[in-house]
């Protein structure tokens, strides 16, 4: 589901913020110092850094649905509302380019609150609760200490947009997607065979026959 949310955000930025894919990259990687050192062109980074239940939208009562015969009813546990929160930053050589890029992204996110059904990708289309609630640049969703976050990333603090999307997790839905999307790799630390160990001498003497 998070992958579908990533795809939705990326498509929305490309189409509505008019970010030319040949000039601007959109990344969902962790923006640590090593990642930043590999950048070669302007980049919008959407870092999913926090996932927790949205207590404001928690539903205490069970959903009750009457059966077709009208004499019986079934109870169903309501979906859990999960807030996926991103820190969105802009990266470029010039500060002016970063600020222009960040403002364009902010304007696009604000225009799409809540998430329009037409921009949804993958399983987001089948969410049990639509439209999908979104909060942009709200104080309660921001990290308690930005400095601690960027220190953990081993990078310099920079302006960011806090973007929170609340998804519905239905406990009755079975998930069949494979957990590992890439085959495992085997790393060989030594490519050359180790030399034969020196044989220890065997005490005794040879008696001719």
pLDDT score, position 96: 96
Lowest mean pLDDT among 48-62, 119-133, 150-164, 179-193: 179-193
Query: Helix, strand, or coil here: 90?
Result: strand
Dist. CA 67–CA 174, nearest whole Å: 23
Q: What is the pLDDT of residues 76-85, one digit of tens each?
A: 678 899 999 9
CA angle, residues 77, 177, 74, in degrees to nearest 5: 20
Q: What is the pLDDT of residues 73-118, one digit of tens each?
A: 566 678 899 999 999 999 999 999 999 999 999 999 999 999 989 9
Lowest mean pLDDT among 34-43, 57-66, 182-191: 182-191
Query: Is the pLDDT reported for residue 22 higher than 80?
Result: yes
B/e letters for 28-38, b = 16+ CB within 10 Å, e = fewer, are: beebeeebbee
Structural domains in the chain? 2-169 (3.30.2000.30)
């Amino acid at each position: 589901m998070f992958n579908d949310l990533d795809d939705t955000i990326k498509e929305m930025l490309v189409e509505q913020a008019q970010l030319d894919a040949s000039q601007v990259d959109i990344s969902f990687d962790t923006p640590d110092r090593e990642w930043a050192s590999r950048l070669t062109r302007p980049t919008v980074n959407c870092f999913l850094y926090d996932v927790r239940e949205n207590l404001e939208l928690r539903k205490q009562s069970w959903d009750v649905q009457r059966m077709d015969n009208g004499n019986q009813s079934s109870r169903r546990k309501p979906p859990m509302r999960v807030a996926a929160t991103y820190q969105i930053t802009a990266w470029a050589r010039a500060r002016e380019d970063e600020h222009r890029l960040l403002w364009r992204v902010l304007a696009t996110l604000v225009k799409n609150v809540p998430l329009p059904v037409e921009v949804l990708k993958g399983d987001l289309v089948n969410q049990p609760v639509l439209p999908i609630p979104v909060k942009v640049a709200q104080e309660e969703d921001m990290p308690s200490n930005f400095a601690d976050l960027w220190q953990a990333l081993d990078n310099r603090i920079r302006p960011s947009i806090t973007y929170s999307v609340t998804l519905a997790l239905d406990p009755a839905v079975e998930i069949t997607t494979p957990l590992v999307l890439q085959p495992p790799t085997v790393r060989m630390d030594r490519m050359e065979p180790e030399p034969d160990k020196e044989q220890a001498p065997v005490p005794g003497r040879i008696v001719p026959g």
